[in-house]
Amino acid sequence: MRTQPLASRVDEALFRPVRAGNAFEETVERLLQAIKLGVVEPGERLPSERDLAGRFNVSRVTLREAIKALQDAGYVESRRGRYGGTFVQEQLPKRARASVRRLAREMATGLDDALVFRRVLEVGAAEAAAMRVLDDYERAHLTQRLEQCTQSGLTDYRRMDSRLHLAIAELTLSPSLTSAMAEVRMRLNGLLDAIPLLERNLVHSNKQHAEIVDAILEHDPDGAGEAMSEHLSGTAALLRGFLA
């Protein structure tokens, strides 16, 4: 039986119902996750208002207010006409370096917590993905995400890296794990933005990405877990070095 397309799985994880008590805030958060993690890429159109309101289980008014907030912040734009809708901006806003450093200082107290949480999630995800027998679509999707990450430049690397790691989580068939992965990626990316992208580190990371993907495709849970653990250790070392 054909498995559910990966795009549908990540949509389920990010575009799921929000809690009624903070409907506006959580709607903004979910939309930002989809944009910042590259689930909806720059220049792409968001799902329709009716679709999003139904999936978030919020009113159209609440959804429009959330979209308006993102529009005011420079993340999306609305276009009219037959092919109109809400589109992600080609160039996303960037925090000033001083602001990013200040955020990093505030978040660094929870650095070890975030790194431990990430290790448990991502090593487990790699092992679980490797335990499955992937169909042709899943194998091609994972390989494509690896190629996109390998070929990306410094400007797009963080987004493509996030998409690759999310693709691994999607292969577990667990929406809860994929959702948790998106949340921890957002948390870590806030810290990663405060340290420089090092060319040599990116080359090394891409080599490790290939080892992880190869182990998953070869149905090798132990190898996938070990490769992911080694990969995460390198990122952790850089974060501790720059932020500790």
Q: pLDDT tens-digit profile of 154-203? A: 788 988 999 999 999 999 999 899 999 998 888 888 788 777 777 878 88
Q: What is the CA radius of gyration of the chain?
A: 18
Average pLDDT over residues 32-43: 88
Task: Please tell me which residue, 58 or 10, carries the higher pLDDT value.
Answer: 58
Query: Residue 81: what pLDDT?
Result: 82
Section 217-243 average pLDDT: 89
Mean pLDDT of the region 37-51: 91
Which residues neighbour 188 within 8 Å (Cβ) at sequence distance 6 or greater?
Answer: 114, 115, 118, 235, 239
Average the pLDDT over 20-42 and give the result: 85
| The predicted structure's pLDDT at residue 1 | 40
Segment 125-140, tens digit of pLDDT: 999 999 999 999 999 9
Q: What pLDDT shows up at residue 2?
A: 42
Tokens of 187: 């948390």
Burial 173-186 (b: 16+ CB within 10 A, else e): bbbebbbbbbbbbe
- Find residue 45's DSSP bridge partners: 87
Label residue 123 by pLDDT band (50, 70, 90): very high
pLDDT at 23: 84
Distance CA 150, CA 144 (A): 10
pLDDT of residue 215: 98
SS3 29: helix
Architecture per CATH, domain 97-243, reads as Up-down Bundle (1.20)
Q: Where are the domains of the chain?
A: 6-88, 97-243
**Lowest-confidence pick of 107-111, 121-125, 208-212:** 107-111
Tell which residue, 221, 222, 225, has the closest CA to residue 122: 225
pLDDT of res. 189: 83
Hey, do 6-88 and 97-243 end up sharing a CATH topology, with the first three levels equal?
no
What's the rounded mean pLDDT across residues 82-99? 80
pLDDT for the residue 112: 81
**Total Cβ atoms within 10 A of residue 60:** 12
CATH number for region 6-88: 1.10.10.10
